[in-house]
Structure 1
């Protein structure tokens, strides 16, 4: 098996994307100028081996995701799940309303609006509270 530390092993798309991500973080932190970032990014996506990728990040410190960033991503994922659940509930309630309206032969008042608005308000309140909430030690 080829040792990736010797630089001869071929790099995958995931390896190139990982280097591109490190370069994006370095740009955001002000460690690279836009011109340096652009040049290194082009070299990263043109690289075929680890030996070509390694020099692109050699002078950059190891980036570690901050706890705050991880917490924000976790909150965003939770909110996305909450809205998917809401949408699923909306489809079910509207289908029940539609079927009962058809079966009764008359248009029934749109009752799904009440639980859906309340549910959406709860999700919004949770989202606002969660995005500004700080963990206490």
Structure 2
């Protein structure tokens, strides 16, 4: 006796987006060429059933399509460190400008109240608030099953 054939299940927007995400990961990791990716992506958004969507990713090693591969994590770490360096460079430029203005006013008007302390401290708190979370978010690799603080933001 043969098993009854299940009717095809219609695909929704959520399933199409998931398939598109899987195809995008496959492209990013070199499993697909751009032309093939575009063809499959168009077919994914034109698919009517979940079986059609499964066929689009059937030949891809989905278990290996990792969202947190080491190269991507390293690129995010480098970008975060570069952002902190840029923030620090802007802060130091502001400190030099403020101190120059204070010195010019002090020499010309004789007003020696050290008012630059307030913008220096205020902006310094911002730099520290940017640098510390960045440093600790990438200090050690996350353990399996734990929450990665870099993914929360």
Q: TM range, normalised to the smaller chain?
A: 0.5 to 0.7
Q: TM-score, normalised by structure 1?
A: 0.56
Count how many residue pairs are aligned between Structure 1 and Structure 2: 98
User: Matched residue of 1:41: which SS?
Assistant: helix
User: What SS does the aligned partner of 2:23 have?
Assistant: helix
Structure 1 segments unaligned to the other structure (5+ residues): 1-5, 77-108
Residue 131 of structure 1, CA deviation? 5.6
| Larger relative contact order (CA 8 Å, sep ≥ 6) | 1
* Partner of residue 55, structure 1: 55
* Unpaired runs of at least 5, structure 2: 1-5, 81-114, 144-153
Q: Is the 8 A contact 1:11 1:50 kept in 2?
A: yes
Determine if contact 2:9/2:50 at 8 Å carries over to the other structure. yes
Q: Is 1:117–2:123 an aligned residue pair?
A: yes
Determine the C-alpha separation between the residues in 1 that align with 2:142 and 2:47: 45
TM-superposed CA distance for 1:48, in Å, is 1.6
C-alpha separation in 2, matches of 1:127 and 1:7: 52
